[in-house]
Copies of this chain bind each other. A is one copy, B any other.
Amino acid sequence: MAFSFGRHLKISIFGQSHSEAIGVTCEGLPAGTPIDEEELYDFLRRRAPGQSLTSPRLESDRPRFITGVSGGKTNGAPLTAIIQNTNTRSWDYTELRIKPRPGHSDYPAAVKFQGNNDIAGGGQFSARLTAPLCVIGGIVLSVLRREGIEIAAHLKSVGTVHDRAFDPVKPDMKDFFALRHADFPVLDKAAGEQMRALIDKARMQLDSVGGTVECMATGLPVGIGNGGYGGLDGAIAAVVFGIPAVKGIEFGAGFGASQTFGSENNDPFYYDDTGVVRTKTNHCGGILGGMSDGMPVVFTVAFKPTPSIAREQETVNLQTKENTRLCIQGRHDPCVAVRAVPIVEAAAAVAIYDVWMEQ
């Protein structure tokens, strides 16, 4: 059940990188939910930074709602959106069936599916499958916004170059707005320039580089989520690990918290001027006992470097059962973390909404 998930917002994603089309079916959005296709398209465009808005490639990437929408609103039937795969070149992927790419799903998929899987473009393991997640995520982001919940993410680091972090106690909403329209999704432009330089360097060296994405959700009421195995953190993690190349997630101070004392890490409560309970620090990332505590929810996701690099690599030949070498052809995104920024927002949105609907 790899591509069906969610308890209240039930999402079922389908497609392979080079199948006729990819898409998603979603049940659970209340009938009458407005679908603003332009707002959604603006969001989806953020998965393809640097491309001009009228790019024909992008135009064809526009989702078509074949069911579930009437007159710009959900109609209570399952909502299904389809994105055609117009751009599937007749690339020869045969070699990859024999010589699995290091760092890719090729080898375990070959064993698991006994050669039946579609290897072209990575089949169902392709990052292309995050587009349908973003279709639903984009819709849900709008739904949550109408409820006063804002979600934003930025590139926290590329290699060892770091952006400044969100302020976890008093986030600046201008940051949120700016990120939505940024060329490059960082808070500190200078850091962004350094990151771009590092990515370019990696590209020049036929290499790739890893990165992290920080995501924040503000406006969640207190008490969303639950203890035990129903926590908001676990729900977000479960969706986030569905994004290709994710290798870790931490909430608030996260791994850093493991190096501190309780007297440093505990977030003291206080009443603010408006009589609202808040915490002075936010090391817990807005989640206590699996529940939102009223402070911004903050988490960071680690992305490994793109495994597809043009450099020659060592691998095996599954046919001859010999060690061999492989050169992966084609142009590849040297840093998946950049495009992952809106994908993490989408993942956060659907996970939070699913838990939020439980109330």
> Could you list which residues of chain A lie within 8 angstroms of chain B, going by C-beta atoms?
1-5, 7, 10, 12-16, 19-23, 25, 27-28, 31-32, 64, 66-68, 70, 73-80, 82, 100, 102-105, 107-109, 111-114, 116-118, 123-125, 129, 157, 159-160, 202, 205, 207-212, 222-223, 226-231, 233-235, 237-242, 244, 246-255, 257-271, 275, 277, 279-280, 283-285, 288-294, 302-309, 311, 313-316, 318, 321-323, 334, 337, 358
A181 to B182, CA, bound (A): 55
A249 to B89, CA, bound (A): 38
Please judge, given known A-B contacts A25-B25, A210-B257, whether A262 and B306 are in contact too, CB under 8 Å.
Answer: yes
A144 → chain B, closest Cβ, in Å? 19
A215 to B265, CA, bound (A): 24
A4 to B231, CA, bound (A): 12
CB-CB < 8 A to A20: which residues of B?
64, 66-67
Kindly report which residue of chain B lies nearest to residue A225, judged by CB atoms: B108
Number of identical monomers bound together in the oligomeric complex: 4
Kindly report which residue of chain B lies nearest to residue A256, judged by CB atoms: B302
20 other A-B residue contacts (CB within 8 Å) besides A4-B78, A247-B251: A4-B4, A4-B229, A14-B77, A31-B112, A75-B113, A76-B116, A76-B124, A102-B268, A108-B294, A125-B289, A129-B227, A159-B259, A202-B262, A210-B260, A212-B258, A231-B242, A237-B241, A247-B253, A257-B302, A269-B323
Chain A interface, >50% SS class: mixed
Is B107 in contact with A288, judged by CB distance below 8 angstroms?
yes
Is B10 in contact with A116, judged by CB distance below 8 angstroms?
no
Is B247 in contact with A241, judged by CB distance below 8 angstroms?
no
A263 → chain B, closest Cβ, in Å? 5
Is A289 in contact with B244, judged by CB distance below 8 angstroms?
yes
Is B277 in contact with A21, judged by CB distance below 8 angstroms?
no
Is A208 in contact with B14, judged by CB distance below 8 angstroms?
no
CB-CB < 8 A to A12: which residues of B?
4, 10, 12, 25, 27, 78
Give the interface centre of A10, A76, A239, A259 by most chain B CB atoms within 10 Å. Answer: A76
